Amino acid sequence: MLNFKNKTAIVTGGGQGIGKAIVQAFSHHEANVVIAEKDEEAGKEVIEWLVSKGGNREAFHFVPCDVAKEEDVRRLIDETVEKFKRIDFLVNNAGLSNFKPFLELSVEEWDLVLNTNLRGAFLCSKFAAPYLKQTHKGSIINIASTRAIMSEPDSEAYAASKGGLVALTHAMAISLGPDVRVNAISPGWIEVRDWKKSSQRQKVQHSERDNGQHPVGRVGEPEDIGRAVVFLCSGEAGFVTGQNIVIDGGMTKKMIYEE
């Protein structure tokens, strides 16, 4: 069993959805976890949820953070080092989307998506890197998307940001190696509505068609990504860097012809 006792992970966007499951996965393996979250209600709630499941309150720390703002990211790193004295893992998960017709997408809307999803990962990585290098086995995981490699209409800003994350991943892997490994995970359809904060949580029932279109026979769950993150951060993945791991139940390998 993996064990991250006395190690520290930062998870951006860790209050809801995939980020919440990543925080849970690190907690399960006894890491200290810093939840960087713009939504204060969600950030505080996830700590209470973890404690209710038997987690050690002292192992969690919430930092309100807009990853697009340099001053917020500097404070995030400073608070993490002040509380836990080290940074071993960084998961750049915070992100947002704006799916609207391409010709109606404003420059401001484009910038908001790119600044959060891509600039945020750059800033967090840049300021965490000196501490990650000190551990000599640090790891950065960027949460990209299968939309980095395939698209539906009206997804230009999101696709560009996630494609940029994949490119940033292999660039940083070369620049920060050998002390820091950098990998990306590209989730496919991951159902997050039942992993939202309590005021927005929804019970979800997927149809047979929803499940059946996936070669594995089901829609993805946030825990699928959490498990992959902790594996990639562990010594078990010590020869893996610069990679984009697609976790989509096989959907991007499935040939689809219109009938």
Distance CA 152, CA 99 (A): 10
Burial 143-156 (b: 16+ CB within 10 A, else e): bbbbbbeeeeebbb
257 is an active site residue: no
Q: Which amino acid is at 162?
A: K
Contacts of 108 (CB under 8 A, 6+ apart): none
Q: List the catalytic residue out of 4, 62, 127, 158.
A: 158
Kindly write down the DSSP assignment for every residue of 160-227, as one continuous string: HHHHHHHHHHHHHHHHHTTTEEEEEEEE-SB--GGGS-TTT-------HHHHHTSTTSS-B-HHHHHH
Which residues belong to the active site? 158
